[in-house]
Amino acid sequence: MPIPVASPVHLLVGLGNPGSKFAATRHNAGFWFVDAVVRRYRADLRKNARFFGETTEITAGRTTLRVLKPATYMNQSGRAVVAAVGFYRLPIETVLIAHDEIDLPPGAVRLKRGGGHGGHNGLRDIIPALSSPDFARLRIGVGHPGDKDAVTGYVLSRATAEEKARIDEAIDRALAQFERIVAGDMQRAMNELHRKSDEAGDPA
């Protein structure tokens, strides 16, 4: 059965590691996006033990969705996601996961649906927890250190000021398409995001 491309989003999850020690690290780009969404819609995240994290509800355009920041560490993200998906009985295709992406440069942001985990520990945990890879992903570029053995230290380090500025610009571009994304107009949002990234000079 083909994956529905036009599914609305009912759950947005940002991936990251909890605590001040990790707040500014590249691996927390998914948290940065969720924080930006919450600020834009003037919502407040609150601790929610049922879902092992912080949650809120927002209305973006005509779509109401729940937002989740897991309080588990990255490699246990599936615990929080499956709790929310199971409680609300959500179809997998209505879930959007925002996460850092080392295969994209800082300043690039891409949408996709389905696929593997690409070595990302959060996705690596979520896919088996949901028994499906068919959720949507907002991939926020953070760059690659150039050596696969250096990846862990790289993503757990702070972005440079220049990188952070470019990542913030990418998050702003994703926010500009957010209501299209959550309404299910994924293809149009993809086209716009990819076009804007090309105009910004991002090679990915």
CA distances for 87 relative to 11, 43, 84, 204, angstroms: 12, 21, 5, 37
Element (H, E) at 14: strand 11-14
Q: Which amino acid is at 53?
A: G
Ramachandran sector of residue 168 (left: φ over 0; alpha: ψ -120 to 50; beta: rest) = alpha
For residues 35 and 168, what is the distance between their CA atoms, to the nearest angstrom? 11
Which of 37, 39, 19 minimizes the C-alpha distance to 28?
19
By three-state DSSP, how is residue 57 classified? strand
Q: Which amino acid is at 30?
A: G
**Those residues with Cβ within 8 angstroms of residue 23's Cβ, 6 or more apart along the chain or in another chain:** 31
Query: 47-56 b/e with 16+ CB inside 10 Å = b?
Result: ebeebbbbbb
144 is catalytic: no
Q: What is the DSSP letter of 127?
A: H
Q: Which of 27, 99, 117, 120 is catalytic?
A: 27
Which residues are marked as active site? 27
